[in-house]
Amino acid sequence: MRGLVATIIAIVATVYYVPWNAYFEQKPEAAREMRDQIEMMFLASWRDYSKYGWGYDIYGPIDHSFRNMPRGGRPLGWIIVDSVDTLMLMYNSSALYKSEFEAEILKSQHWIDNVLDFDIDAEVNVFETTIRMLGGLLSAYHYSDQFEVGNKTIYLNKAIDLGDRLALAFKSTPKGIPYSSINLQSGRAIKNHVDGGASSTAEFTTLQMEFKYLAYLTGNNTYWKMVERVYEPLYKTNDLLNVYDGLVPIYTFPNTGRFGGFNIRFGSRGDSFYEYLLKQYLLTHETLYYDLYRQSMDGMKKHLLARSKPSFLSYIGEREQGLNGKFSSKMDHLVCFMGGLLASGATEGLPVHEARRKPFWDADRENDWNLAKELTNTCYQMYNQTPSGLAPEIVVFNEGETAPKSWWQSSLGDFFVKPLDKHNMQRPETVESIMFMYQLSHDKKYRKWGAEIASSFYDNTCVDCNDTKLRRFASLSDCITLPTKKANNMESFWLAETLKYLYILFLDDFDLTKVVFNTEAHPFPVLDKEVLKSQHLITGWSL
């Protein structure tokens, strides 16, 4: 009873004071108070979803509407499975809401164990289901084990069931490159309905961490081999390193392994191809993948890197017509993961001052580190130079040419926003990079940036904000015009990624040498070399 009263007093107390002061006033307790605020935001969204949308995959926080991903069908667990490891992380460190987090973990686990059933007669996207559901179950297994909360076996059993259903997608083509979708019940693989049946290059090259970790946990090396098979046709059929300097067009025909079209970018459909090259190396110690990553980064610096006017912000542009085509200064917010990726590739998760003393440190890594700082600053500017303090989905950097009148120009002039690109889906990539830069440099500036962005999310994506019982958060259809226009949607990555990365930014001593995040921010432990060897989980191809 005492505990309950204390919890109620604590909740009432935190709800009424103006958030973020602690950080900006540099109080000694600032990091902890920031974590309290981020937990409060997470719980506001979570309680609202629990009350009005529990169990459904897609949720509209404005009118409390919901539906499942397979239309009219059974749920895939989209929001619950994606969020469990964030509940666990906050449970492990919470000062105010520990018992509430524990209760919510057990409630979610009960739902996963008793309601969630992947025997669903519907077509699902192989990539999204792998990164969110398989990734979420595997990291819940890992954190359940590490933080001693819940029953880890439940998560692993579900992961194996789902993994075996998704595995059938790899049998769909002779080269082992999966079609984009699969029916989870029948195992029938389904080609992409558009883009001439081509698969997105980043989609079938962003399944490897999940299935390699599953192989490690189960000792079943079929998972390992099937996800690795996609690389050989991709690199060899296209002569990827010589013809493309390691930069991939965003479509690939699954039956031949040939690229479809010429469009090269680090935004949607390209992004996580590069991410998983590095992360496989960090997770499994396979040096081939660091070498491939290195060549792609060199290619990016040669063909895609530019600086804006007037502030010389570094950014990664696009080559829509291939490497010899015209350069485009457009950049998706999605590209903002690159600061964090370059930084963790340079230091391998060590603080930079330690990494610089390691034998692996070289001029390329120093260059990557400096570029990581520049790109993270650019992405911060994409927030800092808008009226809401939140970034739009896509920007076009200023190259010194005049832009159409209908394009909005940022306060310092460095970028434009087209009328249809003004939305903000509460995406994680910028706070992800800010988190990595802080944890790897301990430069307090990054915590200040993260606090500003968290505060902008609080001020400008909140619905019924003054009512502590009704408060919740939504995407924006326009982040440029004040007051911001809300959109009736809450993406699962708001809970799975954005709030998780903001939270880790304010954790002290979070050890990034021990963990690798999948592309949906689900943490997997770095795998033990000796165990990998004893299970014959090794790289099965070379160039």
Ligand X SMILES: *[C@@H]1O[C@H](CO)[C@@H](O)[C@H](O)[C@H]1NC(C)=O
Q: Which residues bind ligand X (CB under 6 A)?
A: 92-93, 151, 153-154, 157, 164, 167, 220, 222-223, 466, 507, 510
Candidates 406, 394, 203, 381; CA nearest to 317 is 394
The DSSP bridge pattern shows strands 330-332 and 314-316 to be unpaired
Is 393 annotated in the active site? yes
Phi, psi of 248 (to 5 degrees): -100, 135
For 533, the enclosing helix (H) or strand (E) is: helix 529-534
What's the rounded Cα separation, in Å, for the pair 225 and 223? 6
Q: Which is nearer to ligand X, 106 or 403 (CB)?
A: 106
DSSP code, position 528: P
Q: Which is nearer to ligand X, 466 or 542 (CB)?
A: 466
Candidates 496, 446, 432, 429; CA nearest to 132 is 496
Q: Which is nearer to ligand X, 222 or 370 (CB)?
A: 222
Please report how close the Cβ of residue 314 comes to ligand X at its closest, in angstroms.
Answer: 32
Phi, psi of 250 (to 5 degrees): -80, -5
Phi, psi of 516 (to 5 degrees): -130, 130
Cis status of the peptide bond prior to 310, with omega within 30 of 0: yes
Neighbours of 121 (CB within 10 A): 11
Under a CB-based contact definition with an 8 Å cutoff, are residues 541 and 175 in contact?
no
Q: Using CA atoms in the order 159, 164, 168, 170, what is the torsion angle rounded to 10 degrees?
A: 60
Q: Which is nearer to ligand X, 93 or 108 (CB)?
A: 93
Please report how close the Cβ of residue 512 comes to ligand X at its closest, in angstroms.
Answer: 10
Q: Which is nearer to ligand X, 87 or 304 (CB)?
A: 87
Q: Assign 515 to helix, strand or coil.
A: strand
Please report how close the Cβ of residue 528 comes to ligand X at its closest, in angstroms.
Answer: 18
Point out which residues pair with 67 in neighbouring strands: 58
Q: Which is nearer to ligand X, 224 or 293 (CB)?
A: 224
Q: Which is nearer to ligand X, 154 or 505 (CB)?
A: 154
Q: Which is nearer to ligand X, 167 or 209 (CB)?
A: 167
Identity of the residue numbered 147: F
What's the rounded Cα separation, in Å, for the pair 194 and 192? 6
Please report how close the Cβ of residue 408 comes to ligand X at its closest, in angstroms.
Answer: 26
Contacting residues for 256 by C-beta, under 8 A, at least 6 apart: 175, 233, 237
Under a CB-based contact definition with an 8 Å cutoff, are residues 284 and 516 in contact?
no
Please report how close the Cβ of residue 157 comes to ligand X at its closest, in angstroms.
Answer: 6
Please report how close the Cβ of residue 139 comes to ligand X at its closest, in angstroms.
Answer: 11
Q: Which of 228, 393, 452, 520 is catalytic?
A: 393
- Its sign, for the CA torsion 345, 349, 350, 351, is positive
Identity of the residue numbered 368: D
What's the rounded Cα separation, in Å, for the pair 541 and 165? 25
Under a CB-based contact definition with an 8 Å cutoff, are residues 515 and 521 in contact?
no
Please report how close the Cβ of residue 216 comes to ligand X at its closest, in angstroms.
Answer: 13
Please report how close the Cβ of residue 446 comes to ligand X at its closest, in angstroms.
Answer: 18
482, burial (CB in 10 Å: exposed 0-12, middle 13-18, buried 19+) = exposed
Residues annotated catalytic, as ranges: 393
